[in-house]
Amino acid sequence: MELEKFLGYFMSGLTRGSIYALIALGYTMVYGIIQLINFAHGEIYMIGAFVALIVAGVLTIYGFSGVSILVLAALVAMIYAAAYGYTLERIAYRPLRNAPRLSALISAIGMSLFLQNYVLLAQTPDFLRFPQLIPEFTFMRPISHIMGEAELVILVTSALSMIGLTLLINYTRVGKAMRATQQDMVMARLAGVDVDRVISTTFVIGSVLAAIGGVLVGSYIGQINFYIGFTAGIKAFTAAVLGGIGNIPGAALGGLVLGLAESLAAGYISSAYEDVFAFGVLVLILILRPSGLLGRAVKQKV
Amino acid sequence: MVENIKRSLGVMVWFVFLSFPFLAVRVNTLKGEVEWRWLNLLWVAIAAFVLSLVWRWALARRNRGGRPGERAGDTPAVWHQRLFADPRIRRSSIGLIGVAALLFPVITDSYQINIMVLALIFVVLGLGLNITVGLAGLLDLGYVAFFAVGAYSYAILNTRFDLGFWVCLPIGGLIGMLFGVLLGFPILRLRGDYLAIVTLGFGSIAKIVAENWEGLTNGARGIAGIDRPGLFGLEMTISTATIYTYYLMIALVLLTIFTTNRLKDSRIGRAWIALREDEIACVAMGIDMARTKLSAYALGAFWAGLVGVVFAARNTYIHPNSFTFMESAIVLSIVVLGGMGSIIGVIIAALVLILMPEYLRAVAEYRMLVFGAVMVLMMIFRPEGLIANVRKSYRHSSPKAEAGHGR
């Protein structure tokens, strides 16, 4: 009994953690390249979830059914998130590339407020019910009390996305350009890398991952509103810092650790203070190990 | 020109595409209905076309460095500087504002006064955050936590222990200050963006604690029946109490302006500005980094705690939802919009941002949308804010210096 309860918490922590990890990857990639906290990244995730909901809603009404809705909704959500991420970078960050970092951060906060209220005004302030998109698997029946279909889909999808990202970064031309830009932007430019394009690509990839997270969370929790991006964004940022910001495996690890810590603390101590634990973890990590779990200490040059 | 219009048409198509699912479709997943709003797309198209033309023109102008004819690097005195350089104009305009502020309760009703009190509260909040963000350059996204601490300490001390407003006013400020130091300590070593996130976390924690610590804060029900500010036990009707609170806030604002102005020119104020400009160089010059940062936090938090008390007394009821990230964001946009470090700018920005949505009910809904957009636009086109903070500069009166550059 005790073990089953623990396994339940563990699985929900793992699920939550892998979603944090998906969003955290976007933060960490952008931070690695332009040292900016893309504060509006959580909003991109929210936009992904909303587009999926709208598409799924329209398709259901026009008589589509089953897996085709899931695939179409996820695809459109990813396209839109990518488009929003790209536009966000063009409008709010590119003109500030040479400005002080505080300016870019305030611009990011402004963009986050803007996007939140844009969805609030254009759609609705209320929670919307997210359609049940994930089909039931018969082979899951024996372990359904520990792990549901949604959890399995989330774990598998996020694992696949992370593997895909790792392959992309390590073995493709774009990935090579990204790594070069991360190491030294000026030098990369001298070597013929189109830095602006690399940055745009980074935003697009991060946004696609966030949209995957958004669709998964929507079908896992079952309802969304305009505000989900804010909390999720902060949690994911915490995860990214936890793993060492700028470090891609670190973001994945940080997400999982944070998800587990939160879920276990909520289960065994108190669920009202769940968010306090998350921030507590963040503060502790920053004090004790400011470079994160896997990050390396950055020496400041004068 | 043709090239420009072509590009704007491209932008137009792009934005119609972007806004399509949000502005043209609305689904009701419960009833299974779709509402199509095609007309919205037309507005988006027109707005995107015009704005992209303006955007490109403004960016080009910015990259050229100001208006044509101005030389780069030579910052001419702005209109308000030129205006206020004349002591007669300065004195008479200050006098005019003073008379208007004194007469305000006489010529308006208590609804207006109440709104004005709120605006003045935000003026003090803006000036307080200005110390932390504008002068010391420490981005604080959880400033509302200190405001909440002040408000809750008065609410609790008043309803449980029956302490009066005047006793609690300094206590609220001091408790705010204490929290400023307590929270400042662990994050001394953090750099800009980490600091922002951690302070944001503190802000959220304050709200969660207020919501869940039933025994102390009465949880989500909030605390009601808080006394209005008293005056030697005098019985006051609600409208006199409002007027009284108004004058009290005017006095507080003046005190804040005076103090922050003096602080800005003091040794510690200069240390803050030095820290903002370059932390490493500043520490190398022998400034105690820990003490300087902590004092910036503590003094910023002090004002928030102080007006928190007034806020609780004005509303007579407080609730965790009065202390969300939105409030922090509003105060931050006041500071950013006003021009970081500039006191007059912060006052004007606070009055505009708080009063505008109150008087233009129609735009109140769009307030946060506009705030967000304004924050982005300000950072891109006018990072120094509405009223730029003018550094003290000394001029030689020798003819040679006069002929050359004065500053």
pLDDT tens for residues B300-317?
899 999 999 989 888 888
Task: Report the number of distinct structural domains present in chain B.
Answer: 2
pLDDT at B69 (0 to 100): 43
pLDDT at A172 (0 to 100): 92
Residue with tokens 């007034």: B310
Q: Is B109 helix (H, G, I), strand (E, B) or coil?
A: coil
Q: B78 near B29, Cβ under 8 Å?
A: no
Taking only the tens place, the pLDDT of each residue in A95-152 is 888 887 778 888 888 899 899 989 988 888 888 888 777 777 766 666 666 677 788 8
Q: B142 near B300, Cβ under 8 Å?
A: no
In a domain, B90, yes or no: yes
Smallest Cβ distance to A121: which of B205, B365, B374? B365
Is there a single domain that holds both residue B204 and residue B330?
Answer: yes
In a domain, B387, yes or no: no
Chain A, window 30-49: residues with a beta carbon less than 8 angstroms from a chain B beta carbon = 35-37
Amino acid at B148: A
Question: Chain A: nearest CA to B173, how far in angstroms?
Answer: 25
Contacts of B278 (CB under 8 A, 6+ apart): none
Whether residues A61 and B372 touch (CB distance < 8 A) is answered with no
Q: A296 near A244, Cβ under 8 Å?
A: yes
Is there a single domain that holds both residue B88 and residue B8?
Answer: no
In a domain, B405, yes or no: no
Whether residue B10 lies within 8 A of chain A, CB to CB, comes out as: no
Cα A126 to Cα A120, A227, B211, B292, distances in angstroms: 9, 10, 21, 45
In whole angstroms, what is the distance from residue A72 CA to residue A59 CA?
9
Cα angle for residues B245, B246, B248 (degrees, 5° grid): 65
Contacts of A37 in chain B (CB under 8 A): 193, 196-197
Is there a single domain that holds both residue B185 and residue B283?
Answer: yes
The winner for highest mean pLDDT among A197-211, B338-352, B379-393 is A197-211
Is there a single domain that holds both residue B53 and residue B120?
Answer: no
Whether residue A72 lies within 8 A of chain B, CB to CB, comes out as: no
In whole angstroms, what is the distance from residue B297 CA to residue A213 CA?
37
Nearest CA in chain A to B284: A302
In the predicted model, what is the mean pLDDT of chain A?
84
Chain B, window 292-311: residues with a beta carbon less than 8 angstroms from a chain A beta carbon = none
- A2-288 CATH choice from 1.20.120, 1.10.3470, 1.10.8, 2.30.30: 1.10.3470
pLDDT at B406 (0 to 100): 44
In whole angstroms, what is the distance from residue B332 CA to residue B338 CA?
10
Whether residues A99 and B197 touch (CB distance < 8 A) is answered with no
Q: Is residue B76's pLDDT more than 80?
A: no
Q: Is residue B122's pLDDT more than 50?
A: yes
In a domain, B397, yes or no: no
Q: Is residue B326's pLDDT more than 50?
A: yes
Q: Is residue B407's pLDDT more than 50?
A: no
Is there a single domain that holds both residue B280 and residue B202?
Answer: yes
Question: Chain A: nearest CA to B155, how far in angstroms?
Answer: 23
Taking only the tens place, the pLDDT of each residue in B157-190 is 888 887 778 888 888 899 999 998 888 887 777 7
Global pTM? 0.83
When pLDDT is cut at 50, 70 and 90, the band that residue A81 belongs to is very high
Whether residue B213 lies within 8 A of chain A, CB to CB, comes out as: no
Is there a single domain that holds both residue B276 and residue B226?
Answer: yes
Is there a single domain that holds both residue B144 and residue B229?
Answer: yes
DSSP state of B66: S
Q: Distance between alpha carbon B28 and the CA centroid of its chain, in Å?
A: 38
Contacts of B34 in chain A (CB under 8 A): 57-58, 61
Beta strand A128-129 with A223-224 is antiparallel
Contacts of B26 (CB under 8 A, 6+ apart): A123, A124, B34, B35, B37
Whether residues A275 and B200 touch (CB distance < 8 A) is answered with no
Counting residues of chain B whose pLDDT is more than 90, the rounded percentage is 5
Taking the alpha carbons of A28, A29, A35, A41 in that order, is the dihedral positive or negative?
negative
Is there a single domain that holds both residue B56 and residue B168?
Answer: no
Q: A118 near B44, Cβ under 8 Å?
A: no
Whether residue B130 lies within 8 A of chain A, CB to CB, comes out as: no
In whole angstroms, what is the distance from residue B210 CA to residue A291 CA?
32
Whether residue A163 lies within 8 A of chain B, CB to CB, comes out as: no
Taking only the tens place, the pLDDT of each residue in B351-401 is 888 887 777 666 777 877 887 888 888 888 877 777 766 666 666 665 554
Q: B151 near B357, Cβ under 8 Å?
A: no
Q: Which residue has the higher pLDDT, B396 or B211?
A: B211
Whether residue B197 lies within 8 A of chain A, CB to CB, comes out as: yes
Give residue B374's domain range: 83-381
Is there a single domain that holds both residue B38 and residue B109?
Answer: no
In a domain, B213, yes or no: yes
List the single range of A76-80, B47-51, B302-306, B339-343 with lowest mean pLDDT.
Answer: B339-343
- The CATH number assigned to the domain holding B325 equals 1.10.3470
Contacts of B281 in chain A (CB under 8 A): 302
In a domain, B404, yes or no: no
Whether residues B368 and A113 touch (CB distance < 8 A) is answered with yes
In the predicted model, what is the mean pLDDT of chain B?
80
pLDDT at B390 (0 to 100): 63
